[in-house]
Amino acid sequence: MIRNTRSTLAAALVSAALLASANVAAHEDHCEDTRLGDVMKDMKKSFKAYRGALKQGDWMAMSDARLKLSELSVSVTDEQPLKAREMNADERPELIEKYRKGMEKLDLLLGQLEQAEQSKDKGQVMALVKQVGAHTKKSHKALQLDCD
């Protein structure tokens, strides 16, 4: 009887441990790092550099940071948000389309930013930076997987 209880206990412990490790694996899978996420981190640096340069009135540095931001965003055109993997096959294309459209819009705003820089229109640059920030926030809300 004691032996039975012990082996039942042992079995329960083993399955609890297995369950726990399966949970950890599921969590890691769910929240895993992506190439898109890595590039986004660099985009964050460039956008920050842009705003810093704007504060200093350093048009050259602004142009460099905007170009970098633009190159980075173009490099992830064909990526897909991690959130898309979690969706049903019938919902997925809509999310991917939303992502593509969002990236196109970012590209458009960056093109307008370039024009505003060329005419040294600081007011317009500031308005566009605000729009990039708002567009980014909205895109993240719709497309980023809430995984923590």
Binding site for ligand HEM (CB under 6 A): 34, 36-37, 40-41, 43-44, 47, 81-83, 99, 102-103, 106, 132, 135-136, 139-140, 143-145
Pick 21 or 133: Cβ nearer ligand HEM: 133
Burial of 81 (0-12, 13-18, 19+ CB in 10 A): buried
Smallest distance, Å, CB 16 to ligand HEM?
31
Smallest distance, Å, CB 11 to ligand HEM?
39
> Which tokens is 147 given?
């995984």
Pick 9 or 147: Cβ nearer ligand HEM: 147
Q: Rounded to an integer, what distance in angstroms lies between the CA atom of residue 70 and that of residue 123?
A: 21
Show the CA angle centred on residue 86, arms to residues 18 and 91, nearest 5°: 155
Smallest distance, Å, CB 53 to ligand HEM?
14
Pick 125 or 132: Cβ nearer ligand HEM: 132
Q: What is the distance in angstroms between the CA of the first residue and the CA of the last residue of the chain?
A: 44
> Which tokens is 7 given?
């082996």
Q: Rounded to an integer, what distance in angstroms lies between the CA atom of residue 41 and that of residue 43?
A: 5
Smallest distance, Å, CB 91 to ligand HEM?
15
Q: Which residue is nearest to ligand HEM (CB)?
A: 102
